[in-house]
Chains A and B, each alone.
Chain A
């Protein structure tokens, strides 16, 4: 199948058609980079999408907060850049964009249909109800406290503190605060609640409750993606992601430190 595509000569796209194609590719790429795809996945998907829609070749430059594509077809070529402003993780969107790309590869879709599909993907709300997320992210942090072999009161305390912290994070994020501020506020909330529980003496393993209740904030996706980008040779993107992950970790510590200082609790 692959050779069949390569053998069939492509009809050169007009300048206008090329503009349309590159816009669609930028849109798909923006969704991928924004919602937590690592660089190679974004690059390959965008490249295949563009060639699937009739371009001869695409060069894709992915950076942490922008995306540049040069698309060529026949004698025409165009280059465009699009900014990527936020990085909330959403693997549902990444799945949808990848699936759309597969359909394009099979020649099932026209540009107009791709545009409609991308509009639909962008407008799809998140799968999980926010209260369910609060409950289960709290539970996940409680699970971490059990993994550190904390006692059951520490588990319940962590669950409660992390759930309230998740709520605070959602509220702050919704109001578009700077992500570092959101992180400090959330860590402060979790640290205060876990600290108050510790002062009340309900657990014999307070250090695990204190540490586990902020784990919902740990920038796992940026840090893992950073290391993966570095391994695969996308050094600049890797460094950007890593620095951002480090800053978030620092913000977590800052929020905790404020809470602990106010309460007079000792950290680990």
Chain B
């Protein structure tokens, strides 16, 4: 029960985050709630899987796949570019904090004592690698539906 509540709260806040960024990205007003829904579904799923012991990278992939398929379907129905829904919906999944930690560690290398340098470099690379994997998971997840369904369509 406790987990259900925490996942629900997480999904709620993810929706708020997606909507806020949707406004920053100038998403048309009539579609903002859809972005909110996708953001909540994607990150809520990841949080649920995290409670189930799944790694954040795999969790991101599953969450992004949900955002991708839902965004693909919505974009088809509304005859709109799917980028609007998939990117805005994936924003809560973006590994901002990992990137932040990697950069902070990198910048500290310059001022750190020599014996601390190794630990900082390791910290920076681990966080940078996780950032890269999570980003790749997001991109695979949201690009997958169009790669799967539209492969027959003649490309430019």
Interface residue ranges, A against B (CB under 8 Å): 36-38, 40-41, 43-44, 47, 58-60, 89-95, 98-99, 102, 126-128, 132-133, 136-141, 143-144, 146-148, 211, 214-216, 218, 220-221, 223-228, 230-232, 249-250, 252-254, 256-257, 267-268
Given contacts A220-B94, A221-B87, A249-B103, contact A128 B26 (CB under 8 A): yes
Is B58's CB within 8 Å of the partner chain A? no
A266 nearest CB across to chain B (Å): 10
Contacting pair B96 A132 (CB below 8 A): no
Contacting pair B139 A230 (CB below 8 A): yes
Given contacts A95-B81, A147-B43, A267-B104, 18 further A-B contacts (CB under 8 A): A36-B87, A43-B156, A60-B156, A90-B25, A91-B22, A91-B84, A99-B79, A128-B29, A140-B17, A140-B18, A141-B17, A224-B135, A224-B139, A226-B139, A227-B139, A232-B143, A232-B147, A268-B101
Is B97's CB within 8 Å of the partner chain A? yes
A sample of 22 cross-chain residue pairs with beta-carbon separation below 8 angstroms, ordered by A number, consists of A36-B25, A38-B83, A47-B156, A58-B156, A90-B26, A94-B81, A94-B84, A95-B84, A137-B23, A144-B13, A147-B10, A211-B100, A223-B94, A224-B138, A226-B135, A226-B139, A228-B142, A231-B143, A249-B103, A250-B103, A252-B103, A254-B107
B48 nearest CB across to chain A (Å): 13
Contacting pair B25 A127 (CB below 8 A): no
Contacting pair B83 A91 (CB below 8 A): yes
- Interface centre among A94, A225, A253, A268, by most chain B C-beta atoms within 10 angstroms, is A253
Please name the residue on chain A nearest to B80 by beta carbon.
A95
Is B91's CB within 8 Å of the partner chain A? yes
Please name the residue on chain A nearest to B90 by beta carbon.
A224
Contacting pair A41 B101 (CB below 8 A): no
Contacts of B83 in A (CB 8 A): 36-38, 41, 91, 94
Given contacts A41-B81, A224-B138, A252-B103, contact A127 B29 (CB under 8 A): yes
Which of B16, B18, B97 lies in contact with A211, CB distance below 8 A?
B97
Is B14's CB within 8 Å of the partner chain A? yes
Which of A126, A220, A256 lies in contact with B91, CB distance below 8 A?
A220
Contacting pair B138 A227 (CB below 8 A): yes
Interface residue ranges, B against A (CB under 8 Å): 9-10, 13-14, 16-29, 43, 47, 79-81, 83-84, 87-88, 90-92, 94, 96-97, 99-104, 106-107, 135-136, 138-140, 142-143, 147, 155-156
Contacts of B47 in A (CB 8 A): 147
Contacts of A133 in B (CB 8 A): 23-24
- A-B pairs under 8 A by CB, number: 164
Contacting pair A137 B139 (CB below 8 A): no
Question: Secondary structure at chain B's binding surface: helix, strand, loop or mixed?
Answer: helix
Contacts of B155 in A (CB 8 A): 40, 44
A152 nearest CB across to chain B (Å): 12
Given contacts A148-B97, A220-B91, A224-B94, contact A143 B14 (CB under 8 A): yes
Contacting pair A44 B156 (CB below 8 A): yes
Which of B13, B94, B136, B138 lies in contact with A218, CB distance below 8 A?
B94
Contacting pair A92 B26 (CB below 8 A): yes
Inter-chain CA distance A257–B104, complex, in Å, is 7
Inter-chain CA distance A95–B32, complex, in Å, is 13
Contacts of B143 in A (CB 8 A): 228, 231-232
A139 nearest CB across to chain B (Å): 5
Give the 8 A-B residue pairs with the shortest CB-CB distance, closest first: A140-B20, A227-B139, A253-B103, A143-B13, A218-B96, A143-B16, A143-B17, A92-B26
- Interface centre among B29, B91, B97, by most chain A C-beta atoms within 10 angstroms, is B97
Contacts of B88 in A (CB 8 A): 91
B100 nearest CB across to chain A (Å): 6
Contacting pair B97 A223 (CB below 8 A): no
Inter-chain CA distance A223–B147, complex, in Å, is 19
Given contacts A98-B80, A143-B13, A218-B99, contact A268 B28 (CB under 8 A): no
